[in-house]
Amino acid sequence: MIELSLHILDVAQNSIRAKAKNLAINIEEQLSNDSYQIEFIDDGSGMSGEQLKKVTDPFFTTRKTRKVGLGIPLLKHTAEQTGGRFEIKSELGKGTRLTASLGLSHIDRPVLGDIAGTLMILANNEFSTEIKYHHKTENGTYIFDTEEIKKSLEDVPLSNPEIQLYLKEMIKENLEQIQISE
């Protein structure tokens, strides 16, 4: 089973390729209505109505390097398989919002997995898309914001291996404190 962090990596990379300046990744775990929601909001190129219609079809991709695009159809499948729902809205020139709600306690809901590793890859993206990761549970909220981190690092680049190790540990520790499910 694919970990949620890998779904997140793939879908977030779409926003980066769409040259978004900002990408918000919001996760909300709610025990009360048994939902695990993942939302992506970007201000990238957006999609036309026609593109949008095709986007949940596994054989649609504008990429040249891989034959089929599986990122969005796979996440949609995972959401629906766990009794949740999937929605994508997009406007050309404005951006895209994608929401996947999964069943929190559903047996087929994948674990989050290595989100710290995923965030490190995304934080070092080639188009300098700023990533804002919000993770909310009933125990609290953790925010990882590349813009803030870059400011506090001053002249040290985010790509510095020691910084990356440090940030990964920081993310893991902070998430452990609020996580209610695997």
Give residue number: closest CB to Mg ion: 71
Give whichever of 23 and 167 is closer to ligand ADP, judged by the CB atom.
23
Q: Is 54 in the site for Mg ion (CB under 5 A)?
A: no
When binding is defined by CB under 6 A, the residue of 25, 47, 112, 175 that contacts ligand ADP is: 47
Q: Least Å distance between CB 7 and ligand ADP?
A: 10
Helix (H) or strand (E) holding 133: strand 130-137
Q: By rule CB under 6 A, what count of residues binds ligand ADP? A: 20
Phi-psi region of 83 (alpha: psi -120 to 50; beta: other; left: phi over 0): left
CA distances from 25 to 35, 114, 157 (A): 16, 15, 22
User: Is there binding between residue 84 and ligand ADP (CB under 6 A)?
Assistant: no
CA–CA separation, 18 vs 97, rounded Å?
13
Q: For residue 10, with 0-12 CB atoms within 10 Å meaning exposed, 13-18 middle and 19 or more buried, which class applies?
A: middle
Contact call for residue 48 and ligand ADP (CB under 6 A): no
Q: Which does 82 bind (CB under 5 to 8 A by kind): ligand ADP, Mg ion, none?
A: none
Q: What residues line the site for ligand ADP (CB under 6 A)?
A: 10, 14-15, 18, 42, 44-47, 55, 60-63, 66, 69, 71-73, 96
